[in-house]
Amino acid sequence: MAYVIAAPCIDHQDQACIDSCPVDCITFEPGLDRKAYIDPDGCIECGACVNECPQGAIYHETELPGPWAVFARIDRAWYRDSDMARDAVDAAAAAAA
């Protein structure tokens, strides 16, 4: 189990969450990614990042609002195949537009 960064992060990437994480498991590549991602294998579920996000984008994966459930898979996917995750973010953003 882990925390997940959902749709409100897309095209914001405030980065306060990155500074708040005690285990440095929040990442994105500037210029390539439209959101940040939490490494589910590194997250210790401390919750420190949740209130740091001005977009309210971070949820425990068991508490993701239904339309954003896909972001648990997207965050996990980024650490295996970042291009696949980026395509999924584009698709999620387009679906929400």
Which residue from 56, 54, 48 is spatially nearest to 26, judged by alpha carbons?
48
Q: Does 16 sit near ligand SF4 (CB under 6 A)?
A: no
Stretch that binds ligand SF4, among 6-14, 18-26, 72-80, 84-92 (CB under 6 A): 18-26
**How many angstroms separate the CA atoms of 49 and 17, rounded?**
5
Q: Does 9 sit near ligand SF4 (CB under 6 A)?
A: no
Contact string (CB under 6 A) for ligand SF4, positions 41-60, x = contact: --xxxxxxx-----------
Please identify, using beta-carbon distances, which residue of 53 and 92 lies nearer to ligand SF4.
Answer: 53
Tokens (6 digits) for 25: 């498991």
The secondary element (H helix, E strand) that includes residue 74 is helix 70-78
Sign of CA dihedral 3, 21, 85, 80: negative
> Per CB under 6 A, which of residues 57..86 are in contact with ligand SF4?
none
What letter does residue 49 receive in the DSSP assignment? Answer: T
Q: Does 18 sit near ligand SF4 (CB under 6 A)?
A: no
> Footprint of ligand SF4 on this chain (CB under 6 A)?
3, 20-21, 23, 25-26, 38, 43-49
